[in-house]
Structure 1
Amino acid sequence: MEVHTHPGVSADEIADPSAVREIQLWLRGYLRRHPVASLSTLGAQVVLGIRAIQYLFVDIVKGQFPFREFVQQAVFMAKTAYVPTIAVAIPISATMSIQFGLIAGQVGATSLAGAAGGLAVIRQAAPMVTAILLAAAVGSAICSDLGARTIREEIDAMEVMGVSPLRALVVPRLVAAIVVALGLTGLSSFVGFVAGYLFNVYVQGGTPGSYLATFSSFARVGDLFLAMVKAVVFAVIVAVVACEKGLSTKGGPGGVANSVNAAVVSSIIMLMLVNAGFTELYTILFPRTTL
């Protein structure tokens, strides 16, 4: 009988050909390949993010911040993401307006559609649309760029010459992602609110004054502040994950493609989890008051 080999398993365990033993060996290998590797990757991303933030403040104080690279990356990110952000914010806002309008009509509270739709756009839709598009468009570009540099051994050459890839490449991309995320979140909030207003008034037959009055009654400055805080955190997540995946690329051009795919998927999953935590924490700390 052919005996399957498993790394990290003793010879006595391999000698037992029973089905139970094979399942145990497979489970051990699965845990080692997936959950343990995932924790290791998460740890590397946390370390990379902390070091990048530390270097950011040190370089700003010393006057060594790579401003030219920051400007180039910020312009590239804005040009890449602002059109998709507007294109996605409009239909999402229209969809929310439809759903909230239907629900409000069923319970006899049509006048509250403006408050519900506007708050949903500012607190949830705008930062999430911006973050997902940053992960899909900007994060993939960052990861592919750094991944290509890694497989061409440019990163190793920089380290040999005494140039820190973290300071020269990661820090300016991190700052650019934060700045662009703040701007795109504001743009997405404005476009989404206007789109929801126009759709509610001209398509669903709502009242302009009622829409604006209910929104101003419920909305607070803290809602926009929450959206901006989310934008900063989401941008850090996208930039750190993309940079870590790019700098750890292996396996040639195929490895770059795998890194880009892993960066986008990992970023979106983390964004969803962090967004849920932010929303629940904000609801607990700042409970919504009535009219």
Structure 2
Amino acid sequence: MSDDQVAVDRDKNPAAEEIADWSRGYVRRHPQASLETLGRQVIMGGRAIRHLVTDIWTGKFPVGEFVHQAAFMVKTSYVPTIAVALPVSATLSIQFGLLAGQVGATSLAGAASGLAVIRQSAPLVTAMLMAAAVGSAICADLGSRTIREEIDAMEVMGVSALRRLVVPRLAAGIIVAMALTGFSCFIGFLAGYLFNVYVQDGTPGSFMATFSSFATAGDLYLAMVKAAVFGTIVTVVACEKGLNTKGGPGGVANSVNATVVASIILLMVVNVGFTEMYTILFPRTTL
């Protein structure tokens, strides 16, 4: 095919050629853009944690903003957390109860559901609800300030946006994530107990005995560490996306969507790593 014919084909279908060019450019740009975004998030997270420690030590930590953000996060996420933790815990209890009945070990239903709730369900439910509710709200707030040039105005006046806006949100995200995880553990335990005893005709004593025998304090410590890390991830990703918003109101919407998606993907990857490391470092030799 000659060059004239190629030019004629492009002239006949310019939209297809534009889409093809954009697709090839996107494939080339996307890995680099992803790495740059991850790098900005790691740098921001490290700086925010460093400023958090130094500000608390020197007494410069903005306590009022921290309390305001923590109250906002709790108000935004505690009802969805309850609404999701109840059916998830009930589903786990039903499935483990049926499995235990099939192998003739109905007395172990409490242990199985308890381990699942404390180790996996409670931290993940809390983290995903924080990513969907809290993370999107943080990103929308900071993104709106960015496109209105409020962040630039703060920097011009010598006020660090990182220390004034990101650090208190980071501290609030960690505390609220740990508190909601503990609350989710209680809700999950209560839902599993009620379903096992009143729906699956289990015995209360057996449920409590196996739960307390198999669910150790180390499992709760793991859940709290997960919650702290998950809260850090959600807050840092939301703040980074919000502070780098471009393109007006449409850019805010895109940043919010990217925040939720990126946070959930990172949470799943980190959760797998935590689970594998805990299993390797603290193996269970007996049942």
TM-score using structure 1 length: 0.91
* Partner in structure 2 of residue 17 of structure 1: none
For residues 189-226 of structure 1, what are the alpha-carbon distances to aligned partners after superposition, in whole Å with 9 as ceiling and x for unaligned?
Answer: 00110110010000000111111111111111100000
* Partner in structure 2 of residue 207 of structure 1: 203
1:229 aligns with 2:225: yes
1:69 aligns with 2:74: no
* Partner in structure 2 of residue 219 of structure 1: 215
* Partner in structure 1 of residue 43 of structure 2: 47
* Partner in structure 2 of residue 2 of structure 1: 7
* Partner in structure 2 of residue 164 of structure 1: 160
Indicate which of 150, 156, 181 corresponds to 1:154: 150
Matches within 5 A, 1:1-291: 1-2=6-7, 29-291=25-287
CA shift, 1:57, in A, is 1.3
For residues 104-148 of structure 1, what are the alpha-carbon distances to aligned partners after superposition, in whole Å with 9 as ceiling and x for unaligned?
Answer: 111111111100001100110000000000000000000000000
CA shift, 1:36, in A, is 1.2
CA shift, 1:50, in A, is 0.3
CA shift, 1:87, in A, is 1.1
Question: What residue ranges of structure 2 are gaps of 5+ in the alignment?
Answer: 1-5, 11-19
- Could you tell me how far apart the structure 2 residues matched to 1:194 and 1:144 are? 35
* Partner in structure 2 of residue 9 of structure 1: none
Question: Residue 239 of structure 1 aligns to which amino acid in structure 2?
Answer: T
CA shift, 1:34, in A, is 1.1
For residues 53-102 of structure 1, what are the alpha-carbon distances to aligned partners after superposition, in whole Å with 9 as ceiling and x for unaligned?
Answer: 11111111221111100000000000111111111111101100110011
Distance 1:3 1:113, change over 3 A: farther
* C-alpha RMSD of the superposition: 1.7
Question: Residue 72 of structure 1 aligns to which amino acid in structure 2?
Answer: H
Secondary structure of the residue aligned to 1:64 is coil
- Could you tell me how far apart the structure 2 residues matched to 1:127 and 1:281 are? 16
Question: Residue 102 of structure 2 aligns to which amino acid in structure 1?
Answer: Q
Secondary structure of the residue aligned to 2:7 is coil
- Could you tell me how far apart the structure 2 residues matched to 1:27 and 1:246 are? 26
Secondary structure of the residue aligned to 1:34 is helix
- Could you tell me how far apart the structure 2 residues matched to 1:284 and 1:113 are? 24
Secondary structure of the residue aligned to 2:246 is coil
Question: Residue 56 of structure 1 aligns to which amino acid in structure 2?
Answer: L
For residues 235-257 of structure 1, what are the alpha-carbon distances to aligned partners after superposition, in whole Å with 9 as ceiling and x for unaligned?
Answer: 00000000000000000000000
Percent identity between matched residues is 76
CA shift, 1:26, in A, is 7.8
- Could you tell me how far apart the structure 2 residues matched to 1:259 and 1:164 are? 22
Question: Residue 7 of structure 2 aligns to which amino acid in structure 1?
Answer: E
Task: Indicate the larger mover: 137-146 or 204-213.
Answer: 204-213
- Could you tell me how far apart the structure 2 residues matched to 1:45 and 1:265 are? 15
For residues 20-55 of structure 1, what are the alpha-carbon distances to aligned partners after superposition, in whole Å with 9 as ceiling and x for unaligned?
Answer: xxx9x8886344321111011000000000000111
TM-score using structure 2 length: 0.92
Question: Residue 220 of structure 1 aligns to which amino acid in structure 2?
Answer: T
- Could you tell me how far apart the structure 2 residues matched to 1:2 and 1:100 are? 65
